[in-house]
């Protein structure tokens, strides 16, 4: 098991209790900032984070251990988080496809969700109003399950025109605010249009590109984990 700083300090504290007694050790306990306690420590169990998306989540063109969910889980565990990241990505999915499979993609024991859908809506030229309506329907379902969510936004393709592209991109910001979801504005930030970080199709990141995505989104994901309420 990976131990973070708080765990090591707690271990020293308990050894101190044996030598000095509970009263003296208790004064040490009060010096440990609560923010240092990882979500896993707070919940005393392995948290389940669902990466719910399309081919960018599924890992099209890369190995299972190189996919976004796999690399994200490794990065989180390296920082001391006891978390499993479930790969619920399906290549080719639009927002509507995600809504259609919501019930069997988000297990009952899920603790939080990263929502990465919308890229195929823009590639297929789906009406931004329809995409917004579907995204809102997904967020309502997540809200009804009381699941904290991090929306991974997407930029529209150039052939949409400025008005439609702006409308598409703005929906992530507007709905994140309306449904109190965390927002990572652009999932491919730092990777899009960089040949060295993408596969030959120019659309899907290679393993190095996925690593860049994970490094950039990691603070937002840690913020998401901190929003997970304790289960009774």
What are 63's two structure tokens? 């190995």
Annotated catalytic residue 55: yes
Annotated catalytic residue 201: yes
Please say whether the dihedral angle defined by the alpha carbons of residues 94, 225, 219 and 2, taken in this order, is positive or negative: negative
- Residue in 54, 93, 105, 204 annotated catalytic: 204
Question: Nearest Cα to 205, choosing from 213, 86, 215, 114?
Answer: 213
Compute CA distances 2 → 35, 43, 95, 215, 228, whole Å.
Answer: 18, 16, 36, 19, 20
C-alpha span between 226 and 210 (Å, rounded): 23
Please say whether the dihedral angle defined by the alpha carbons of residues 98, 101, 105 and 109, taken in this order, is positive or negative: positive
Give Cβ neighbours of residue 93 (< 8 Å, ≥ 6 apart).
53, 54, 55, 101, 117, 120
Give Cβ neighbours of residue 229 (< 8 Å, ≥ 6 apart).
146, 148
- Residue in 38, 55, 67, 131 annotated catalytic: 55
Compute CA distances 225 → 27, 139, 198, whole Å.
Answer: 28, 18, 29
Point out the residues that are catalytic: 55, 201, 204
């Amino acid at each position: 098991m990976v131990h973070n700083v708080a765990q090591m300090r707690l271990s020293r504290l308990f050894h101190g209790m044996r030598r000095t007694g509970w009263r003296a050790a208790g004064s040490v306990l009060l010096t440990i900032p609560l923010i240092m306690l990882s979500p896993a420590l707070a919940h005393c169990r392995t948290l389940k984070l669902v990466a719910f998306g399309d081919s960018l989540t599924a890992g099209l063109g890369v190995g299972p251990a190189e996919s976004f969910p796999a690399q994200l889980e490794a990065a989180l565990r390296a920082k001391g988080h006891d978390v499993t990241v479930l790969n619920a990505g399906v290549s080719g999915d639009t927002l509507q496809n995600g809504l259609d499979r919501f019930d069997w993609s988000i297990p009952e024991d899920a603790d939080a969700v990263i929502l990465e859908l919308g890229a195929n809506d823009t590639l297929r030229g789906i009406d931004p109003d329809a995409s917004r309506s579907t995204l809102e329907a997904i967020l309502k379902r997540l809200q009804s399950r009381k699941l904290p969510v991090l929306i991974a936004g997407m930029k529209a393709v150039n052939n949409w025109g400025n008005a439609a592209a702006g409308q598409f991109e703005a929906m992530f910001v507007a709905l994140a605010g309306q449904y109190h979801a965390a927002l990572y504005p652009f999932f491919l930030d730092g990777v899009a249009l960089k040949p060295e970080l993408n596969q030959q199709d120019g659309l899907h990141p290679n393993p190095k590109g996925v690593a860049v995505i994970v490094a950039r989104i990691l603070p937002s994901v840690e913020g998401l984990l901190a929003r997970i309420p304790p289960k009774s």
